[in-house]
Amino acid sequence: MSESWIILQPIAILFAGALLMQVIEPVGRALKIEKLRDAFAIAIFGLSLYSLLGIYGEVQTQGQITYFLSPYEPPIGVSFAVDQFSIFMAFVFCLLGLLVSIYSVRYMEGDTGLDKYYSLLMSLVAGLVGVSFAGDLFNLFIFWEAMSLSSYALVAFKKYRWEPIEASFKYLVMSTIGSLTALYAMSILYGLAGTLNITDLASIIPTLEPYPLYLVIIAIIAGFGVTASIVPFHFWLPDAHPAAPSGISAMLSGVVIKAGVYAIVRVLFSIFDPAAFSFGTALVLFGIITLSVANVMALLQRDIKRLLAFSSIVNIGYIIFGFGVGAYALNVYGMGGYSIAALAMMGAIFHIFNHAIGKGLLFLGAGNFIHEAGTRDLMELEGVGKKMPLTGTSFSIGLLALAGVPPLSGFWSKLFIILAGYTVLSDSFMIVTTSIVVLNAIFAAAYYLWLMQRLMLKAPKPRVEHAHEGRGLLSMVLPVVIMSLITVVIGLWPFEIINFADLAARSLLGLVGG
Amino acid sequence: MSMSAADFTLYALTAAILYVIGLYGMAVRRNMVRTVIGLEIITAGINLNFLAFTILDSDLLLLAQYFVVISIVIGAAVATLALMIVIQAYRHYGSVDLRKLSKLRW
């Protein structure tokens, strides 16, 4: 453990970028450099990604680094703490931010107020990184709200249409109730323990009466579960994700809902000891309910972005299930369950990465189709892949990866989660729930293939007859192709990222005394 | 005047009731502005809950005040954005009735 101010770099860069954008915009207009703001946004995201490398090096050698942003000593000072799990998430957030900003250069060209768009995108990513770096719960809440406010505004960005306005209001109301419920949990926790610092809480919690703490656990799962879109708190998602501009859909589905998962997991694993509190069973059950309900709903959709939105809920189910298996194993088998927990949580963290890249790819690819064909209806989009071969091929790779077809990246993470579930053959709860997950995975693979067949193999419908991807679309096609390459490369050579995810899982477990 | 555990119960209970009133109001009212007011009532309840605990232990007071002040600021930001969306919805529909918003199913 060590202290270092470099933790603040990515957050400071992104927030400064969001403010400076308002200066860059008039400068660009005065100098008649049309794309100055886009170039600036890409540079800021690149810089934040670069600054993460320095923190990564530090975390690798030190294990955990902390920083107090205040003249006061803790617990008064605003505290930041970065471990392997935080840095893993931050990498995913910034990487997707960079790809989406490249994508937006061309996709958002026809819109006005792009300086505000990029400012909001930067403060969204800054909030996300802040959530993953926060060392105390109230600090986490502040960054959480920075993230949420930016995403409400971004969903409503095309405010001249009715759909984004409705979806954004629904998202705002539900998500705010969620974050207020989590804040309620924090206020109870603060009253009981006298601090909200994560490290201090971890040492104080075992000395407290356990029953009021279950109330806190329930409120945390329900509160952050709204943003993570765990069924039955998911109702906002299928409206909000399709209504947003495609780049923002990719951000919301790719990373914002993962921040919800991160917050749940960070609070439950770092503060409450999974061996002492039996929340693992609840997480496993939430996981399979989320998976099963969202899978059925996804099948009923005709709107391509709605289908992808439901598929995001399905994947949140896998991730929650993976963490649930980890907590369950620690609770039931004690130290004997440590290796199962490490495997399951490594799979879940790996799946966070795979789904962020995979779903980002699918939403951006769908954005390309919609941009060219002008419709979101799957029936009218038939055969669009033949007209747009690069996007179509990448989109298919994304679908296959999320379907879990070997050797693409999604196969590995699902394999680890399912393997962990099947470790203890005598445990009927684990066997039954894992079997439900396997059935769902097969079911999901079937409709991913159905979607792929529709978009790629059918004869092109009249709406897509004039779709094409020329040089003009380079900035839209490039991120999609990069993401499909990442999917293939990670699928063929997953060892580095497995190692990273494993360290992240172990650091998460290490804090609970493992 | 010194406060007792009974006072704590009173304040914490009031906070919980405010939380429930806010949720109830949002569930039964179909007016967008009232929905936003519901959010604000919940925020007030939670802020009160932070302060209620300081009755039991005055060491908590310093940080609790800091939390509540920031929470009020964040609540104001959320309300501003929510009302901005309400204004946009009014421009589209000429109404702030949630039932007029066709896709919204709660």
**Does A374 reside within a domain?**
yes
Taking 70 as the pLDDT cut, the residues of chain B under it are 1-3, 102-106
Q: Which of B46, B53, B55, B65 to mutate to test the interface with A (most CBs of A within 10 A)?
A: B46
Supply the Cα-derived Rg of chain A in whole angstroms.
Answer: 22
How close A302 comes to chain B (CA, Å)? 16
Chain B residues bordering chain A (beta-carbon distance below 8 Å): 19, 23, 26, 32, 35, 39, 42-43, 45-46, 49-50, 52-53, 56-57, 59-60, 62-64, 66-67, 70-71, 74, 77-78, 81-82, 85-86, 88-89, 92-93, 101-106
- Chain A 297-326, CB below 8 Å of chain B: which residues? none
Partners of residue A134 on adjacent β-strands: A80
Say what the pLDDT of residue A477 is: 92
Rounded average pLDDT per 10-residue block, chain A, 514 residues: 81 95 91 89 95 91 82 71 93 95 90 91 96 92 96 92 90 95 95 89 89 92 94 90 93 94 94 88 94 91 91 95 94 87 94 95 94 88 89 94 89 94 89 94 90 88 80 86 94 93 89 42
Residue with tokens 């109001």: B25
Q: Do B74 and A145 touch (CB under 8 A)?
A: yes
**Does A407 reside within a domain?**
yes
Say what the pLDDT of residue A296 is: 92
* Distance from C-alpha of B82 to C-alpha of B86, rounded to nearest angstrom: 6
* Domain ranges (residues) in chain B: 5-97
**Does A259 reside within a domain?**
no
Q: Which amino acid is at A193?
A: A
Q: Which of A79, A120, A173, A208 to mutate to test the interface with B (most CBs of B within 10 A)?
A: A173
**Does A442 reside within a domain?**
yes
Contacts of B78 in chain A (CB under 8 A): 145, 149, 172, 176
Number of structural domains chain A divides into: 1
Which structural domain range is residue A289 located in?
283-514
Which residues contact residue B1 at a Cβ distance below 8 angstroms, ignoring those fewer than 6 apart?
A: none
How close A231 comes to chain B (CA, Å)? 14
Q: What is the pLDDT of residues A472-488, one digit of tens each?
A: 778 899 999 999 999 99
**Does A483 reside within a domain?**
yes
Q: Which architecture does CATH list for B5-97? A: Orthogonal Bundle (1.10)
* Distance from C-alpha of B57 to C-alpha of B34, rounded to nearest angstrom: 36
> Nearest 5°: CA angle at A269, between A268 and A275?
100
